[in-house]
Amino acid sequence: MKQLIVNADDLGADEARNAGIFEAIREGSVTSVSILANGPALEGALQAIGSLKEEKISWGIHLNLSEGTPLIAGLRRLTGKDGFFLGKAPAHELLSRRGDPELEKEVTQEMEAQIQAFRNAGIRISHLDGHQHIHVFPAVVRAAVRLAQQHRISWMRVPEEPDPTPAGGTVDGPLLRESRNFSGLAKAARAQLEGTGIRTTDHFRGLYLKGRLSLPSLIETLEDLPEGFTEMMVHPGRIPETPLSAPFSGFSTLDRAKELEALLDKDFRKALTLNRIELTPFPEN
């Protein structure tokens, strides 16, 4: 049996991203969503969630320690002098460190604040993952697992994915190296989940589709989907009518719009049927 969770990341990044994700939800192409607790468009996202009626969607927290403004004031290690997170590359370098109690304390405090913000908003958190996969980095993973247990979050993303086959098209050097790094960190993080009661899917897809997801690559992914339970990470969105200057201003681009169009295409639904794939949110139990 093949079951697929199509999870849209970065809800709350901006209104254009929100619009694209909810469009995909209404069309039945997205079954799960991960939300940025410090996203500039979070309030609009929460209002839209409250207006949903029949759609069965699992909502998760997209823990963020790399971009935008933290929820905790006075952080010394995770932020620059301007009070903002450090950005992707510096944050990844910092969070790759092991055995730094002060850093891990700040990581725990900020992630706790982000989770608590969702609980206060009445969002039932089904799953936990990380913006730019920070949740599987050495300075973060133990705290992420501990907080998931404390808050009874049932599922955690493990973005471990095999290299694409030659038929999957050429993956450029930077994307290949980045994806292999994330996958290696995820493989190590998987061991942290043993005996915790936190579940993860059998398979993960999406690392190698970053910026290159199209209808042909999406259909090929479905054709090669293994038996079992798979999470596929996607980033659909619309393009803003006017340029943005917020911390996440680079998120709603033509690539995001192309992803959305691929997910909305009738041939995506046909491929699901032909390959006997059942779309599902993260199960509650």
Give the span between the Cα atoms of 231 and 158, in whole angstroms.
Answer: 9
Rounded Cα–Cα distance for residues 139 and 105 (Å): 10
Q: Does 100 participate in catalysis according to the annotation?
A: no
User: Do 97 and 139 contact (CB within 8 A), yes or no?
Assistant: yes
* 148 closest CA partner among 120, 117, 111, 122: 111
- Which residue out of 9, 10, 14, 129 is catalytically annotated? 9
Long-range contact set of residues 218-224: C-beta below 8 Å, sequence gap at least 24:
218/262, 218/263, 218/268, 218/271, 219/267, 219/268, 219/271, 220/167, 220/168, 222/4, 222/268, 222/271, 222/272, 222/275, 222/277, 223/271, 223/275, 224/165, 224/168
Phi-psi region at 62: left, alpha or beta (left = phi > 0; alpha = psi -120 to 50): beta
Q: Which residues are catalytic?
A: 9
